């Protein structure tokens, strides 16, 4: 089912994105997967093509376009070629880190950082998760101690997307340990600051080409000019921006599910068993019917969610619904598509096999399925 979400302008943009992917992504995917790292040059190529900083005002070098549908187009086209690692890295920049800079940065900070983010000369990351604090961010232990006009940031972060390539890392740290969630602040730590080091490039089950790392901060002297947002409101700043992050993950999941179904339909039409295409087997047709129905119904909901986001009315609860449902759908669809591929579905030369291992993390990061259901359940049963 073709989505009614897009206009002619979006489809023209899609053609440009396809050309970029064919030129800058597809020829390198296998090597990136084997090397466990994408080329740094991909960022500057994406920036030159206008695929980074789409929502950044033109005065800072961006596209000046807040319509999320353009980002959704990029996600769909990357999913179509099985480039989940690239999609995650670009999404981290534009959908997760960038909103913090757009919403919270001062004029001086925007002039200092945004042009590089848009050109791809600056790769961003956001460091929340710690070895002992994942979904429960109130358990973080990283600290930022005031020292004159500066802060000394110490602690360890893990599972950090873009952790190896990142030039600018938004770090959540405790500025007042006695104040609980009200005692956290956000700091921008830049490559080369003394005391900021990177640990292992983590060896993940999937998303092999995407760099995920441990980060360490040993009394990193961070000037007050790198404090992001309001002191003591770091946790609130995070909560305010999670709906967009979760919506983005849901859109990636939907795009991946649709791509998996397209690949499988083509495979079932070509592959024969018992003297005829396996698409002619009733069990296959029933499975395909179920997957098509589930993906199309989910697409309708996500189209609405994207519209709500563009209108400024997307709620945290609706974003949570989209996130858990679409990511669980992605895993369910991909798993069943692997089954329809038979033994070939387990071979990495087929995109469905890579999609299988890449999909598993989707129900975990950005808030687990269980956390999403807790958000929704609390809303349903609250007395307010």
DSSP symbols for 206-221: S-TTS-EEEEEEEEEE
In a 3-state reduction of DSSP, which class is residue 42? helix
Q: How far apart are CA 367 and CA 324, in angstroms?
A: 9
Q: Annotated catalytic residue: which of 245, 270, 349, 374?
A: 245
Nearest to residue 228, comparing CAs of 261, 196, 272, 185? 185
Q: How far apart are CA 384 and CA 335, in angstroms?
A: 40
Q: How far apart are CA 332 and CA 341, in angstroms?
A: 15
Q: How far apart are CA 309 and CA 247, in angstroms?
A: 9
Buried b (16+ CB within 10 A) or exposed e, 1-12: eebebbeeeeee
Q: How far apart are CA 381 and CA 384, in angstroms?
A: 9
Verify whether residue 245 is a known catalytic residue: yes
- Phi first, then psi: give them for residue 146, nearest 5 degrees: -65, 135
The residues annotated with a catalytic role in the active site are: 245
């Amino acid at each position: 089912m073709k989505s009614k979400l897009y206009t002619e302008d979006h489809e023209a943009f899609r053609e440009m994105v396809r050309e970029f992917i064919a030129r800058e992504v597809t020829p390198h995917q296998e090597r990136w997967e084997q090397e466990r790292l994408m080329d740094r040059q991909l960022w500057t190529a994406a920036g030159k093509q206008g695929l980074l900083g789409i929502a950044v005002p033109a005065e800072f070098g961006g596209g000046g376009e807040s319509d999320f549908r353009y980002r959704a187009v990029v996600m769909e086209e990357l999913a179509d070629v099985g480039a989940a690692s690239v999609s995650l890295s670009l999404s981290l920049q534009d959908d997760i880190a960038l909103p913090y800079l757009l919403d919270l940065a001062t004029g001086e900070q925007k002039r200092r950082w945004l042009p590089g983010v848009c050109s791809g000369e600056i790769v961003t990351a956001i460091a929340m998760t710690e070895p002992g604090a994942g979904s429960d961010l109130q358990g973080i232990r990283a600290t930022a101690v005031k020292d004159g006009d500066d802060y000394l940031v110490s602690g360890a972060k893990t599972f950090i997307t873009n952790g190896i390539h990142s030039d600018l890392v938004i770090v959540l740290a405790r500025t007042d340990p006695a104040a609980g969630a009200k005692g956290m602040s956000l700091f921008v730590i830049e490559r080369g600051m003394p005391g900021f080091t990177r640990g292992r490039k983590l060896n993940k089950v999937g998303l092999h080409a995407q760099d995920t790392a441990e980060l360490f901060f040993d009394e990193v002297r961070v000037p007050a000019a790198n404090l992001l947002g309001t002191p003591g409101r770091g946790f609130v700043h995070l909560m305010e921006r999670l709906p967009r992050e979760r919506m983005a993950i849901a859109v990636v999941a939907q795009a991946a599910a649709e791509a998996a179904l397209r690949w499988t339909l083509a495979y079932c039409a070509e592959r024969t068993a018992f003297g005829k295409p396996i698409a002619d087997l009733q069990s296959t047709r029933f499975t395909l019917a179920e997957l098509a129905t589930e993906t199309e119904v989910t697409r309708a909901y996500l189209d609405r969610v994207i519209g709500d986001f563009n209108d400024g009315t997307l709620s945290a609860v609706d974003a949570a619904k989209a996130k858990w449902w679409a990511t669980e759908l992605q895993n369910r669809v991909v798993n069943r598509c692997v089954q329809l591929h038979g033994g070939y579905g387990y071979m990495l030369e087929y995109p469905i096999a890579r999609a299988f291992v890449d999909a598993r993390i989707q129900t975990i990061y950005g808030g687990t399925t269980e956390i999403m259901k807790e958000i929704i359940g609390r809303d349903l049963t609250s007395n307010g």
